[in-house]
Amino acid sequence: MSQPQPVSETRISMSDPTALGVFGLALVCLVASSQKLGLTSGTTLLLPWTIFLGSLAQLWASSIDFKKGNYFGAIALGVYGLFWMAMALNWTLNLAVSLEFFAPLKPFVDTKQVGVAFIGYMIFSIFIMIAAAEANKCFFALLALINVLFFSLAMERFGVSPALFGKIGAFTELTISLLGFYACGANFLNNFFGRTVLSLGKPMGWIRKGP
């Protein structure tokens, strides 16, 4: 009687995609903040960076984290990747209605709806920020700044002191970019060398994780 053959299982090892996703966030925030700060103008050439770095890079990293079982990275990168895809579409539609052919649609455009979406994103980002506190201090600071940015952008869209909140949003987005570059650089070097080269800060320890 022949013996049953052992079943071999093939597993594909995947690297940590966090540096890729956070780099996408950092770069698109850098480009977008340059427009808000008046260093550049228009949104047309923001679109490639928004679609490929802000959206696709984060969504790609999110899909890898889902496969690796990294719940925090999968949800956070996925949520913000979809946000930048939506922003790219918003800018595209705004560009379209500025053309004579689509001009009749302009009265039906209410930018306050985008402000409502910012509030929705801020609400969920508060939950992500709480979780980030138990990841590391750098990610917690990033999420805190993202919440400030969403609130500022929402107030600007609602017409509440647009000059003030526009300025706050611009400098906040620039700070997010700079901190994001540090976070992705630290994550890349730490993973490459297999030790802590640049610290991301220890978890806050506010909420104990379950067994």
The candidate with the shortest Cα–Cα distance to 22, out of 198, 179, 148, is 179
pLDDT of residue 15: 86
The candidate with the shortest Cα–Cα distance to 80, out of 42, 125, 110, 111, is 125
pLDDT of residue 131: 96
CATH 2.40.50 fits 18-95+109-190, yes or no: no
Regions of the chain short of the pLDDT cut 70: 1-13, 100-102, 108
pLDDT of residue 94: 85
Neighbours of 176 (CB within 10 A): 25
Give the model confidence (pLDDT) of 144-173 as tens digits. Answer: 999 999 999 999 999 999 999 999 999 999
Instruction: Answer yes or no: are the C-beta atoms of 200 and 142 closer than 8 Å.
Output: no
pLDDT of residue 109: 76
Give the whole-angstrom CA distance, residue 170 versus residue 168. 6
Give the whole-angstrom CA distance, residue 154 versus residue 122. 9
Give the whole-angstrom CA distance, residue 200 versus residue 148. 21
pLDDT of residue 96: 83
pLDDT of residue 97: 80
Q: Domain boundaries in the chain? A: 18-95+109-190
pLDDT of residue 5: 62
Instruction: Answer yes or no: are the C-beta atoms of 200 and 22 closer than 8 Å.
Output: no
pLDDT of residue 9: 53
Supply 55's token pair.
Answer: 């959206």
The candidate with the shortest Cα–Cα distance to 98, out of 60, 43, 37, is 43
Neighbours of 196 (CB within 10 A): 10
